[in-house]
Amino acid sequence: MPVQLAEQVVVITGASSGIGRCAALHLAARGARVVVTARRADALEQLVREIESDGGQAVAVSGDVTREADLRKVAETAVERFGRIDTWINNAAVYLQGRVREITPDEYRRVLEVNLLGYIIGTQCALDVMHRQGTGAIIQISSILGKRGAAYFSAYAAAKAGIDGFTQSLRSELWGTGIRVSTLYLAPVDTPIYQHARGKFGTIPKPPPPVSDPESVAKAIAKLIERPRNEQIADTFSFFYLAMSKLPSRGGDWFLHRTAQFTLSDIPDRGDNLDQPLNDVPRVRGGWAEPGWRGFTLRETVRVLPVESLLAAAALGFVTSRVARRIGAVGNGSMPRRRP
């Protein structure tokens, strides 16, 4: 039976901007009671006012996801205010762009603390409440970069890959407890995370087109809450790039090098939120969407993707169908026949 969003109490980390902010607005508009957390108290207060002005219910608790005491306070506030936690969404993340040899150990450490340890601590805080309840759901917002890394984003990719291993282990551990754990895989999304990134090249990174829109991600999150599943790909574009990343090593590397590389924008790097939050206007979008972009239809995908991407997609479809047939034959107890 589908879960009713209007009956949900949802905690969202990293809610001051981007995906977290969009998800909070979307879920609250559909009746969920949301508890939002991030480092910027002013941005959270503005978000709560916006939700309440539209008739929703929300409470803000500022904090850093790398500090256990901060996330314990978030969990306690959710229970005190709304009586329980139905869904906990780990979403907070920071970006770091640079060559491996140029990134300091402290910078790697900080990215891993926020993007991986923050998820682990959040999960632990959620589990303490959910085990007492005997039910609950945890959603890990992840990335296709955790499946196949891209140049200059080694720290981010390492953290996302770590989330996969952690979540798979946790899912096995929670078997039969009534607690579900889901992972949502994203391609690049039109959020301010790129403006907030620490870079080593003087200008901010630019995601490869087309980028997903935050609203589609928020809808995917809502869908996961209503109908939990182990893993979910956010949209058609995320599925496309995840499929391309499954090409054999050299083919996958070639594809990602030609079509999925983050480039540099012409926007000067004016600071980052790696160690401290930026005091910019809190917003959902980053302004990276393609002009005239009308959503992930076949026509739009063909319009914005490079020709080599489309050729690779066709090749992957052919290879996948051939492999599927061979696997099917083996699975049915027979081996593919040799031609005479």
3-state secondary structure of 96: strand
**Whether the predicted pLDDT of 221 surpasses 90:** yes
pLDDT of 231-274, one tens digit each?
998 876 667 666 766 666 666 666 666 555 667 788 888 899 99
pTM reported for the whole predicted model: 0.85
The domain spans of the chain are: 5-305
- Complete DSSP assignment for 214-281: HHHHHHHHHHHHHS--SEEE-SHHHHHHHHHTTS-HHHHHHHHHHHS--EEEEEE----SSSS---S-
If you average pLDDT over residues 285-312, what whole number do you get?
56
Fold of 5-305: Rossmann fold (3.40.50)
Q: Specify whether 156 is catalytic.
A: yes
pLDDT greater at residue 204 or residue 196: 196
Cis peptide, bond prior to residue 210, ω within 30 of zero: yes
Report d(CA 307, CA 284) in Å as an integer: 31
**Mean pLDDT score of the chain:** 85
Catalytic residue among 95, 152, 156, 194: 156
pLDDT in tens, 99-137: 999 999 999 999 999 999 999 999 999 999 999 999 999
31 φ/ψ angles, rounded to the nearest 5 degrees: 105, -5
E strands, 148-230, in order = 179-186, 198-199, 203-206
From 13-17, 45-49, 148-152, 182-186, the region with the lowest mean pLDDT: 148-152
Whether residue 313 has pLDDT greater than 60: no
